[in-house]
A and B are shown apart, each in its own frame.
Chain A
Amino acid sequence: MNCHSGTTAIKATKAVKRVALIGMPNTGKSTLFNRLTGATAFVGNWPGVTVDLLQAHININHETVEFVDLPGIYDLNGFSEDEKVVQYFLESFGVDLVIVILNAAQIDRQIRIALQIKALGLPAIILLNMADEAKYYGVEIQVNELSKRLELPVFLLSAKYGRGYERAYREICQKLAESVTTHKITNLKNCLSEKADISVEEMENILTGAVQMPSQIAVNITQQIDRILLHPILGLPLFFAGMFAVFWVVWNVGLPSQDIMDKITGWLQTNAIEPLVSPLPKLAQDFIVNGLWGGLATVASFVPLLVLFFMIMAVLEDSGYLSRSAYLMDAFMAKLGLDGRSFVMQMMGFGCNVPALMGTRVMRSKALRLLTMLVIPFALCAARLQVFVFIIAAVVPNGNGVLVLFSLYLLSFVAAIVTAALFQGVFKNEEPFVLELPPYRVPTLKHVLLRGWGEVKQFLTRASGFITLGCVAVWVVTNLPLGATGLNTIGGQIGQFLSPIMEPIGINPYLTLALLFGVIAKEVVVGSLAVIYGLGADAVTNQIAGTVTFIQAYSFCIFCLLYTPCLTTTATLFNEAKSWKFTLFALAYSFGLAWVASFIFYQSALALGFK
């Protein structure tokens, strides 16, 4: 089919008009989206679309209008995953209006997308964002002349600070009021190749006389900061110092916030849940309190941590430093098939794996994301640290505990590096490493807060069901059959059944059962030991000191570090990868690696005569 008219206009039969936002990365597209839609955005469900698209419904001219934030693209005619998503969207779902958002300071190269949308015949409005930055650089734009040449409305604005926004918004409303047909391009491939292959000459023809780019720019703040932050010798130490600061905040603010949340849910449990279910039979009570409510409490404990994490991420990203970290670390990370942003996420993973996995969304190449997600669960998170501190305290009485703990951190790094090296050929990043380094910008509080809130909302809607279900399942295997405790429960039976494979790595059935609990959350491992042995916390320490040797305990730590991550991490892994196959593979691989590592350690230690 040829592309004659460009778009196929469909008589508007659907009640809701749709507006799509299209633009390059780093143009402030999501800032504009936030300004348009406030905090009402949610992840929509678009059949056939493999990435998350934010959308929101807002009321304009007394009717509901749907706004969709399409992923940032470089070229409507391009080959990247995000570019394919946008192409698929325009082909499959009708739009009433396209908002093309360009960085005004880079209009010389970004005008292509506006010309492509125009060539396709889609109803559009062009917003030249970051007008303040363009002015600062000395970019001069004759908006009226440009609008005349493009035959489309063009507005200069700053989505971040709101200047020029009102006029642009009125035009959007006006356009929507006039719109009677929805546009869909059923033969997009042909249209793109026939009409949307915009040449450099066409771009220049549109711009010459209407836009004046500066021939040189004066030394500005960004260049001065880059001189220090990207300095060949100072750059990396400063980067590590910055990572340490972020880590410190996660550790000293984020993790205590989990304890506060636990106190709140604990209080609710004793003062509301337990009295409420008290008329029920004992088993039902236990099921509701330790199964269902336990699951919800687990989910709740992650909320403040996630808000904090994503506020930090928003600051790193909006300020322009995140892409610079990729530049700084690229020489090392490229060898592992990763990039500098993977490193940042890995470091965050040492606080908690869950937000680190969600944070990989900044990487737009699927292969790069999957490889990073495969590696992150090996980061020794705070929850695992609790287990290690407990075990080490029990079996390493002298001051050598620090060395043991340090060796586990080292192992965490080695596991990540080995995994990346092993699988970089499988998850091969095909996208070229050409990354924009935007000027340094001051993040706005509003955007940082919106980001934190938005991510938590997504986490709650998607992960809570899975986590609660998992908690219920573990409750079932560790509490049934009726009246059974310790090794007599289904879980204990599983522990004994698994002993042929756990015995060679020095882990007894009691500890195996604790590891089974650890599938919910690693924090649970220590507490579960008390339940399993049926002893108080101090007595458990003595019990373990008496029955578990140092090398068995160390083998247990190795296994605990590497095996199946906690339920929340698993749920997040699945949500982000959107693939059962990948999730199961990641789980099986980590389990296998844990076993092999523990086996090698335990058997060599035995062979060397340690006990």
Chain B
Amino acid sequence: MLRATLKSVLSRKLRLVLSGLAVVLGVMFVSGAFVLTDTLGRSFDSLFAGVYAGTDVAVTAKPAVAGVDSGERPTNLPADLVAKVRSVPGVATATGVAQADGARVIGGNGKVVTTMGAPRLGTNWTGTSDLVQLREGRGPQAADEIAVNAALAKAAGIKVGDRVGVLTLQPKKTFTLVGIFGYSGDRDSIGGSMFVAFTEPVAQELMLGAKGTYSSIDVTAAPGQSPEKVRDAVRAEVGGGYEVKTGKELQAATVDSFRQGLSFFNNILLGFAGVALFVGVFLILNTFSIIVAQRTRELALMRAVGASRRQMIGAVLVEAAAIGLVASVVGLAAGIGVGAGLAYVFGHVGGTDLPLASIGVPAAAVIGAFGVGLVVTLVAALLPALRASRIPPVAALQEAATPDRPLTKITVAGGLMSAAGATVGGYGLSGKAGDSTMWLIMAGVLVSFIGVALLTPVLARPVVSVLGRLFSWSVPGKLGRLNSGRNPRRTAITAAALMVGLALITGVNVILSSVTATLHKQGDTLVKADLIVSGEQMAEMPPTFDPAVLDKMRGIPGVRDVAGEYYDRATLNGQGWGVDVVTDLPAMARMFPLNAKEGSIGPLGPDQLAIDEAHAKILNLHAGSTVTVQLSRGAPHTMTVAAVLAKNDVFNSIMLSPSVVGDLRVPQPSWAYVRVVPGADVAAVRAQIDRLLADSPEVNVTDRSGYIQQQTKQFDAVLMMIQVLLALAILIAVLGIVNTLALSVLERTRELGLLRAIGLRRGQVMRMVTVESVVISVFGALLGLAVGCGLGAAVVRALRSEGITSLALPWSQMGVYLVLAGVVGVVAAVLPAVRAARINVLGAIAHE
């Protein structure tokens, strides 16, 4: 029995290839993801190797504000602490470091140099070391001199001797570049980060905001002293207000955070691989169903000569296992290649020059590949196997015609599953599920997909017949239409596979376009500011501009109101929150219209704040209550609530008095809102503000709709990424169409021969197959668009409480998808159509 099965598999190579291909692609994605993240992970390990080589122990302050990364936003250490640490027994040297994120270099092209998420650090020059090596020039010696690392010099396009503008805690200052440095192992950068080295007082002032302070102290142990021992000694000396760690611990922490990011990335890739495999299940299920149907007589003959039901199931499953096994091997090999290729791309994209570790194949990749490949194939083959076992032996003697089985059962099951999926997903979206929200939504979507897929056969007949009318003007078109309606299950599963990918893309699209529409609507109706100064936020902190610009804007003729907004994180009564400092609360209130629910809106006096309803409720504050506010710098403030603001559709925040600006980490505003007097020339005002912002290249001034466009620009990138990642699922669905058509063509050889004999031209045969293909793919696309709209609408509905009030369907995008589906149908038909056209007429019609 086993031998007969294996022989049958091998004798039908095309079938093997087509059904295996879906598994290959899915497995490739899974193993590729593992290989990629493993390789990148080890590359980062070696990247950070030796970063703390010269540091046995480091001392930092505990962050003043909860939930803030002390590496990038340090709390200052007093200068005398360095001497104190130096005096600890076992300490050889203690060097004060004044280093923080936020040194933004203006490149040769006038634009601020950005990174792919790595910090842009400003630091004091502490000389060369085992790690830091000068490549060119020297270290900075005068207050207007800097050195930068080689990666930054390359990205900015600057060379020694250039005058270079740098944005820091203070607005743009210009320096002379006197040196370029790299790192041991000929590295241009560590983890993609960019470094600007100032002289110590300048670094302290520009990066830490106060002279005579440090962000950390690097300690080397005396010979023979273990870092751990020194760490404990230093910790005992400086007390509990500081964090004292060995270089090893710091290194592990740094690598850990990168690895966490990677594993998140890995999970995203695996999620998309899951979608691809889910679609693959449809393809394999369909292929095996068709094969079983085509082999009815052969299988019945086996039953007639004495094979048991169990053996029939075994025969189909063994075939599936063989295909799964081969596909897993091929998929794993392809995945290693893809992982390596992607690692190369990641290592060399956007100026980051990541020296790649050797390509590794982690056990997870191998286990994942074979597990997924075999399980998916076997699961998909189970139903067809059961069907094969139910073929009665007498079928061997009957005509091969498979009667149409009624669709009642499958439709009822589909209805129930769709309802169950919608219920589970709906409960998840309602936000009552807490931690399992995400899982519930995903399960809901998955079950709904299966439910809709089961409903598709019933939909196939009417939809296909309506769709097909579009092509019925010619005989080949009509024949193609009739063929696609011939086997509703087959058409349905093939179309459903395409539905899954498109539904997800459409769903995301609906959500994003609804958010965009909401923003536009609010911008038009609710925001009264005529001009907005802002920048594109790339990191945790928004970009900033020179506060002097605020005053100068007020002086521009035609300007009525200007409100500036600063941002930072602060601790309020022990909890971390994002807070704003607003320069002119009454002006701000006019921009959005804000209304007081308690107290009154007036200029905020020293240590006063205004707070929106929602935050006030959480913090249990009312007009007149006091709250302790700890900002990034300085002592805690006891602030009084001047007003509680009614809920606003656009702007809800905790707004502090301008008196505390000095205690913000970056005492520069991030946004400004401007209203002009009625009848003033907005364009002229805008041009003048533009000029004022010449030294603040990270921000620009736009009108309302420009601002909203700027905010929604990133949606395009999100959508693009999702489309790229789901492209694989769609590719597999296209393979499914090719597969179905190829098998159908094979099944209809005789008919094709007859058609050719009575005068159907080759071109007409190809057109017939193409119409069938396009009908299937457009049907799938319509399903996908419909389900995607439902999905998106459900999410948008759930987001209503978050202020997403408009539901906008992306008609033009959906139109594009539909047209693309048509194109996909044509492409998928090419091979089967050629095969059909090449059918040997004589061979097809000759009787046995």
Q: Are both chains from one complex?
A: no
Partner-A contacts on B (CB < 8 A) = none
